[in-house]
Structure 1
Amino acid sequence: MRGFLGAVVDQVKLALAIRSLLLPRPQDMERRAKAKEERFRKLLQYAYDNSPYYRKRFEGIDLKTCAITDLPTLTKADMMANLDDIFTDRDLTRAELERFMGDPANVGAYFKGKFAVCHTSGSQGQPAIIVQDKPAILTTFAAQFARGKKLSRRFLPYIQQLLYPARFSIITQKPGFYPSSTFFNYFPERARRYIKLQRLSVFDPPEVLVQKLNEFQPNFITSYTSALETITRELKAGRLKPSSDLEQMTNISEPLPEPVAERVEKAFGVHITNVYSMAECMALTCGCQATHGSHLNDELAFLEVVDSNGNPVPNGTPGNKVLLTNLYNLAQPFIRYEIDDIVTMSATPCKCGSLLPLVQSVQGRSKDQFWVNVKGEIRDLPYYVFLLALHNETNLAEHQFVQTGVNRFVLRAAPLPGQTLSVERLRQYVQQSVTAEGLGNVIHFDIEIVDRIPPEESGKVRRAKNLFGPPPATAAELETTSTAEAG
């Protein structure tokens, strides 16, 4: 009886959470703004009362009236150096969490029966440990179920949904403690009545992915951009036979260039939704059903898009980083947490009609932003300048552009199986593209033909990779940098 009652309670909690996060209507906006303000004040007070770190950081600040910009920011380095004091529960310690995650048998288990845990790969620098309480995990699922229109109807109480659950393929890494797996490791038991999951690995050979997808015939596919490109090539080659009732594809964790999205959508005949989130706030956005942007779940988080000095940038302008405040995870408060993503918020309402703010684009991490020196002037170099060069190369399987020095780049290109690539033709394509941007005599590049582009430890492929570093801040630094490179 206790098990039955527990299942009923879990089902009710999930249903109520979904209901609370249904897409807002105009008449809901005032109520939502008030609820967000209450969440914000609750977070600040809870952090102050229960986290020794925040108690010190918030000293002298009136937490009942302060603006978010009155609060200090938090870097990853500071968080990891003070992790035990940042946690609001004294049962949480970094040492115990690391031991817990060191045992693969704990994947999908709650630490001490209460906390979902994961760690980032450290591919962008220092790894981070992320802890979420059970209510935070419930909120994450509820947001996706409530605001993913094609998915949400799967949770309506119709008997056919129980008899014919949706088939959901997830192609990430194998289940583990990394962020893009955490969401699915803790999939609510009650939701499994409506969805049948298939977990696949991006490290599997294409022929293995094809075989398993052909057998499973998913209605929904979620993966990284690079893996979606892989299965698109298999579809075009006639080896992948997608389900006739495939409804939607979703990109996570990697930037989704518009040309790639269009190519995948044309091949499969379905829309790709693009979800922008991170381990620190997995319910940050939901994918737009009409564009390749992401709608900010703004009652659950603040997302401040700022320049390198922390000043806000206007909508429509790319920032240098974002400051994240997670309003629903009380176990490990993230308050104005610095993430070096290059994000652009839309300056106009979304054409889909949603009232939620639109994350127009995410270009990746600022650490991997390309730059060039044009007669002593430092300019950003958008990745698309290179990407556009490859559209006419039909024998190309995958690619990676790498900045190796001032104005120096390398294109790593892998051919389709059984095909070859011409270095001369690729060089011509790239040269035409950079010349069209007025950089024909500025950019120098080499081309390497490789068998494949290996993913990072995280399982993701970085299409744009800056090995040289960020641009110098001053002309003197630029001269020193150029001289050192020449030497």
Structure 2
Amino acid sequence: MKAPMHEHVEPKDGGFLAFIRRTSWTGRQYNAIRMDQHCLHQEQQKRLRRLLDIARARSPCYRDKFRHLDADCTDLAEFPVTTKTEMMAHFDEVVTDPTVTRAAVERFIADIRNVKEPFLGKYCVAHTSGSQGQPALIVQDQLVLDLLFAFQMTRGNPRFRGLQRFTQAVRNLLHPTRLAVLISQQGFFPSAWIWERLPKFMHRFMRFLFLPANDPDLVAKLNEFSPTVLTATPTTLDLLSLKIDQFHFPSLRQVVTWSETLTEPARRRIAEAFRVPVMDNYAMGECMFLTNGCPTASGSHVNADWVILEVVDEQYQPVPPGQLGHKVLLTNLANTVQPFIRYEIGDRLVMATEPCGCGNHLPRIEKLLGRAADFFWVRTPTGFRPLTAYPFQHAFDYLRDVREWQAEQVERNRVVVRLEPIPGATPDLTTAQNRLDERLAPTGLLPELDICIETVTRLTTDVHTAKFRRMISRVGVPDDLDPSLKNVVRDFALFQA
């Protein structure tokens, strides 16, 4: 069976006609938010059929997994689940391009200088990890990122509504959107890496400022740039809201959050401080365009014309809207080089039961459990400062011998890090320590911390919540912590469902 041709965005960048076509394609991505359920289902089925045909024709792993199903079956409930462990164990058999191999991807991402370069001249690669098992490698083509930025320009833009959408592109050409991105570390981590792979034609519509969240001149640089859109993790934005009097953003139109759970108290504080809509995007490296935040309600709208998100219970049976699921299954309809079909994600969601007041017809995630920022509060000569999971994550994600890690704050400034190796491997603790020191140095907290790194046979879940916790504090929040900072840590505490 011959698989269908790849669904390209439009001709490659170059020339005025190509620019007009790509701009038109970007604008058309808005249309799905007005689709009725029948039309949306048709779009899903068309793209699902194409994805399944390609997977059967070009992926030995999926061909074997689907051999018991009829070739014309598109009922996802009949298809087996795919886990991260399975995906990585059979990586070379999962991908649909035989020139893409796990060994080649690992060599590519081992050199940070490659972060701005396409893998094999045409693919985008990322590296992520999670509590489901060993780190994941993600390969995707440009269509995936074109969709991400198209959705951000249209569905994720509160001003792209009604007749205004027809003049939005012209306004952006005359006055490009100024997007300030606060990141924690450069690398192949999805939240930092995606900005290096922006479609070239988008630079005509947008100007960018990339800043580390701990940049000592953050306030001055942001004020000089004067962003129209500011994007960062909820933790970063909530902490910035405490310094709102130092910022001057006369043209700011919205803030966009990602990566962590945005609680309602934090949303209110951020909205009150910045006085613009707060758009909370929920995504993962396996599907960066999964949702766009809602400007009028909590949660985010699933881009269901290009992705299928199944909320299921422990037995993988569907959970109706309004009820908390045990996990979700992701089917990315755009990525055909590394298909994610019923890919298991450990997040717990509640889908909304009522139509959204913003007018977007796409399904809305009302509540998300399982993603939150954990803090260690560290004593410094100038007071207590928060330490999040990011330095630890960025230090250990690139250690291929490490299956999972956990950091425990046993005393106020003493942390024990435990590394669980991949079976048969022996992590180099000196390398691990050096990587962590490199990531902690920009925070300014390295001199204050006493850190011990050790290996363990197996890391286990929390006995009270049955969830795996990477960050565990035995000393909690300092009694004399400033009350405004207590609000931040309280609202970003680990969710227990």
TM-score relative to the length of structure 1: 0.72
Alignment-derived partner of residue 218 in structure 1: 227
SS of 1:6's partner is: coil
1:244 and 2:250 correspond: yes
Deviation, 1:77, is: 0.5
1:305 and 2:311 correspond: yes
1:449 and 2:478 correspond: yes
RMSD, aligned CA: 3.5
1:263 and 2:269 correspond: yes
Matched-pair contact (CA < 8 Å) for 2:32–2:305: no
Deviation, 1:190, is: 1.0
Alignment-derived partner of residue 178 in structure 2: 167
CA distance in 2, matches of 1:60, 1:117: 32
Matched-pair contact (CA < 8 Å) for 1:114–1:133: yes
Deviation, 1:82, is: 0.5
Deviation, 1:55, is: 0.7
Mean alpha-carbon deviation: is it higher for 87-96 or for 212-221?
Answer: 212-221
Stretches of structure 1 lacking an aligned partner (at least 5 in a row): 370-382, 384-394, 402-408, 414-444, 453-460, 472-487
Aligned residue runs from structure 1 range 57-456, under 5 A? 57-122=65-130, 125-150=133-158, 152=160, 156=167, 160-202=171-213, 204-205=214-215, 207-235=216-244, 238=245, 240-365=246-371, 447-449=476-478
Matched-pair contact (CA < 8 Å) for 2:132–2:346: no
Matched-pair contact (CA < 8 Å) for 1:155–1:161: no
Change (3 A) 1:172 1:450: farther
CA distance in 2, matches of 1:155, 1:101: 40
Alignment-derived partner of residue 453 in structure 2: none
Mean alpha-carbon deviation: is it higher for 160-169 or for 171-180?
Answer: 160-169
Question: Rg larger in 1 or in 2?
Answer: 1
Change (3 A) 1:211 1:80: same
1:19 and 2:19 correspond: no
Deviation, 1:157, is: 6.7
Deviation, 1:462, is: 11
Matched residue type, 1:210: V
Percent of pairs with identical residues: 36
CA distance in 1, matches of 2:480, 2:94: 45
CA distance in 2, matches of 1:32, 1:11: 28
TM-score relative to the length of structure 2: 0.71
Deviation, 1:242, is: 2.6
Matched-pair contact (CA < 8 Å) for 2:127–2:136: yes
Change (3 A) 1:159 1:144: closer
Change (3 A) 1:400 1:49: closer
Deviation, 1:327, is: 0.6
Mean alpha-carbon deviation: is it higher for 29-38 or for 47-56?
Answer: 29-38
SS of 1:167's partner is: strand
Matched-pair contact (CA < 8 Å) for 1:155–1:194: no
Q: How many equivalent pairs are there?
A: 391
CA distance in 2, matches of 1:169, 1:18: 21
Deviation digits for residues 453-473 of structure 1 (CA, Å, limit 9, x no counterpart)? xxxxxxxx994459xxx99xx
